[in-house]
């Protein structure tokens, strides 16, 4: 792998068969002027490799920066300088692999971990060893994290079910036409509808299906980014309320007052990871210039979504909540 040392790129070899970290004298001669002034004494005098016996010239400490897009990792290993070593670059041995928690025998090489989680940002107060430890935890629990273009997960056993306080025939307010939309708005609607179709969040209604309830959609903008929203106000007025306590921000802040480290995890499109009961899907139909679509996952904006999601999270994480987790 390539790392940064003294503002220049250099190769770093991670070797599980080397008992110490080493660098060849000729490599230092070629890339680091005045390196001999940075030497420190070393206890061992002789080293052996497959190619024969080598003599050390003391040790040198070099700060290594493992660069990726956010949150560089800094290591400060001590390298034994060897005469006649055939190494082009620096070699990190098991001494500092153990110190920094790097285990290349577990199929979790450092470069692979960094490449997979290079978008993640870590707190600047974490030491390099702590960052590496966190990276290894992320790698070990890789299936729990959404990275890049991946299928949206679906939680089993927690499909939402809606109940209306009116009977058929439904009031006209529940069957509304699409809103007028500009050419720009239509393009954004088409983009979001296609994304939801790709994620299996919605499905298109066939020509032979009976449609009794339709909710128009609109586009909202925030920081230059568009978002598709269903105008569920009419449906919400006729939906029976699901009463469930939602945590309050002041109470959450009180619990966090004495916390030293805070870890936050966010569900990607959390509501959409909840399914919808088959008998409730017909209530969650949206309409636009492209036609009529039905939500097969819980949408944002419906009346009971927050209560349903909170109950589901409290049920799944009940043991962790007792340990101090906050959901």
Q: How high is the pLDDT of residue 37?
A: 84
What pLDDT score does 276 carry? 96
On whether the CB atoms of residues 75 and 66 are closer than 8 A, the answer is yes
Q: Examine residue 226 and state whether it is found in any structural domain, yes or no.
A: yes
pLDDT computed for residue 119 by the predictor: 44
Angle 162-167-170 from CA coordinates, rounded to 5°: 90
pLDDT per residue, tens digit, the chain (327 aa), is 888 888 888 998 888 777 788 888 889 988 998 888 888 876 655 555 545 455 666 888 888 887 655 557 788 888 888 877 778 889 888 877 777 766 555 444 555 555 555 545 667 777 777 877 887 787 778 777 776 666 788 889 999 999 999 999 999 999 999 999 999 999 999 999 999 999 899 999 998 899 999 999 999 988 888 999 999 999 999 999 999 999 899 988 898 888 887 888 888 888 999 999 999 999 999 999 999 999 999 999 999 999 999 999 999 999 988 888 888
Domain boundary among 124, 144, 164: 144
Q: How many domains does the chain have?
A: 2
Answer yes or no: do 318 and 175 share one domain. Answer: yes
- 181: domain CATH number? 3.10.10.10
Q: Are residues 19 and 47 in the same domain?
A: yes
User: Do residue 169 and residue 229 come from a single domain?
Assistant: yes
Residue 149 lies in a domain: no
Considering the domain architecture, whether residues 205 and 167 belong to the same structural domain is answered as yes
Clarify whether residues 207 and 266 are in a common domain: yes
DSSP of 199-257: TTSEEEPPTTS----BEEEEEEEETTEEEEEE-THHHHHTBPP-------HHHHHHHHT
- DSSP string covering 46-73: EEEETTEEEEEEEEEE--EEE--SSS-E
For the entire predicted model, the pTM comes to 0.62
Residue 214 to residue 35: CA distance in whole angstroms: 75
Q: CA-to-CA distance for 244 and 88, rounded, in angstroms? A: 64
* 16, 114: one domain: yes
- Whether residue 75 contacts residue 100, with contact meaning beta carbons closer than 8 Å, is answered with yes
Structure letter (DSSP) for residue 7? T
For residue 103, tell me if it sits in a domain.
Answer: yes
In this structure, the answer to whether residues 168 and 288 fall within a common structural domain is: yes
E strand or H helix that includes residue 82: strand 78-82
Closest CA to 211 of 186, 237, 174: 174
Q: Does 43 lie in the same domain as 159?
A: no
Q: Cα–Cα distance between 142 and 196 in angstroms, integer?
A: 24
Domain end residue (candidates: 144, 170, 192): 144
Residue 261 and residue 121 share a domain: no
Question: Is residue 150 a part of any domain in this protein?
Answer: no
285 three-state secondary structure:
strand
| Residue 51 structural domain | 2-144
Residue 327 included in any domain = no
Q: What pLDDT, on a 0 to 100 scale, did the predictor assign at position 96?
A: 77
Residues facing 65 on adjacent strands: 4, 74
In a domain, 242, yes or no: yes
Quick check: 5 and 63 in contact, CB under 8 A?
Answer: yes
- Backbone phi, then psi, for 41, in 5-degree steps? -65, 155
SS3 154: coil
Last residue of a domain, one of 114, 144, 174: 144
- Same domain as 223, residue 103: no
Question: What pLDDT is recorded for position 59?
Answer: 87
* Contact yes or no for 241/315 (Cβ under 8 A): no
Residues 213 and 80 in one domain: no
Report the sign of the C-alpha dihedral through residues 130, 132, 135, 136, in that order: negative
Residue 184 included in any domain: yes
Same domain, 113 and 200: no
Position 56 in a domain: yes
CATH of the domain at 18: 2.40.70.10
């Amino acid at each position: 792998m390539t790392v940064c040392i003294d503002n220049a790129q250099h190769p770093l070899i991670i070797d599980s068969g080397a008992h110490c970290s080493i660098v060849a004298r000729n490599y230092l001669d070629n890339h680091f002027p005045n390196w001999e002034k940075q030497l420190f004494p070393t206890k061992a005098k002789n080293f052996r490799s497959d190619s024969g016996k080598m003599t050390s010239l003391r040790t040198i400490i070099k700060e290594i920066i493992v660069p990726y897009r956010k949150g560089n990792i800094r290591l400060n290993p001590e390298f034994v300088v060897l005469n006649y070593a055939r190494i082009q670059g620096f070699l990190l041995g098991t001494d500092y692999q153990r110190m920094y928690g790097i285990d290349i025998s577990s199929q979790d090489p450092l470069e692979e971990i960094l490449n997979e989680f290079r978008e993640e940002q870590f707190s600047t107060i974490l030491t390099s060893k702590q960052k590496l430890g966190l990276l290894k935890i992320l790698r070990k629990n890789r299936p729990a994290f959404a990275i890049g273009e991946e299928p949206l997960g679906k939680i089993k056993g927690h499909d939402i079910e809606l109940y209306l306080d009116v009977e058929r025939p439904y009031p006209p307010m529940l069957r509304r036409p699409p809103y007028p939309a500009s050419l720009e708005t239509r393009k954004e609607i088409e983009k979001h509808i296609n994304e939801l179709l790709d994620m299996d969040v919605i499905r298109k209604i066939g020509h032979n299906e009976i449609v009794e309830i339709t909710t128009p959609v609109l586009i909202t903008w925030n920081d230059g980014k568009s978002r598709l929203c269903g105008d569920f106000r009419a449906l919400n007025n006729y939906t029976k309320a699901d009463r469930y306590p939602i945590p309050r921000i002041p109470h959450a802040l009180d619990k966090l007052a004495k916390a030293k480290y805070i870890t936050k995890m966010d569900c990607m499109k959390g509501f959409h990871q909840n399914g919808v009961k088959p008998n409730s899907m017909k209530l969650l139909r949206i309409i636009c210039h492209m036609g009529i679509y039905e939500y097969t996952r819980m949408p944002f904006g419906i009346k009971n979504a927050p209560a349903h999601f909170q109950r589901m999270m409290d049920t799944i994480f009940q043991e962790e909540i007792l340990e101090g987790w906050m959901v």
